Amino acid sequence: MAIEQRWRSLTKAASWRITGTLDTMIVSWIITRQVKVAISIGCVEVFTKMILYYFHERAWNKINAGRAKEDYQI
């Protein structure tokens, strides 16, 4: 199996964040039928979700459940 390079991981993270934000904007527009409101929600959401994800990851780093002991170094 090939090792994923950092630039690929960053590109995937950015593309997923864009996809998620567009989804939020579309759902917001469907519910409110107001483009400005949908865009505003999307703009706020992109930052709040990045912050929440950071803390989510930090919390999961403290949980060892499901981790295997690493026998090799890359």
Residues contacting residue 38 through CB under 8 Å, at least 6 positions apart: 25, 26, 28, 29, 32
Q: Which domain holds residue 53?
A: 35-61
Tell me if 16 is assigned to some domain: no
Tell me if 27 is assigned to some domain: no
pTM > 0.75: no
Neighbouring CB atoms inside 10 A of 42's CB total 19
pLDDT tier at 4, thresholds 50, 70, 90: confident
pLDDT of the residue at 1 = 67
Tell me if 10 is assigned to some domain: no
Tell me if 70 is assigned to some domain: no
Question: What DSSP string runs through 50-64?
Answer: HHHHHHHHHHHHT--
Cα angle: 63, vertex 16, 55; to 5 degrees? 30
Tell me if 45 is assigned to some domain: yes
Tell me if 23 is assigned to some domain: no
How many domains, the chain?
1
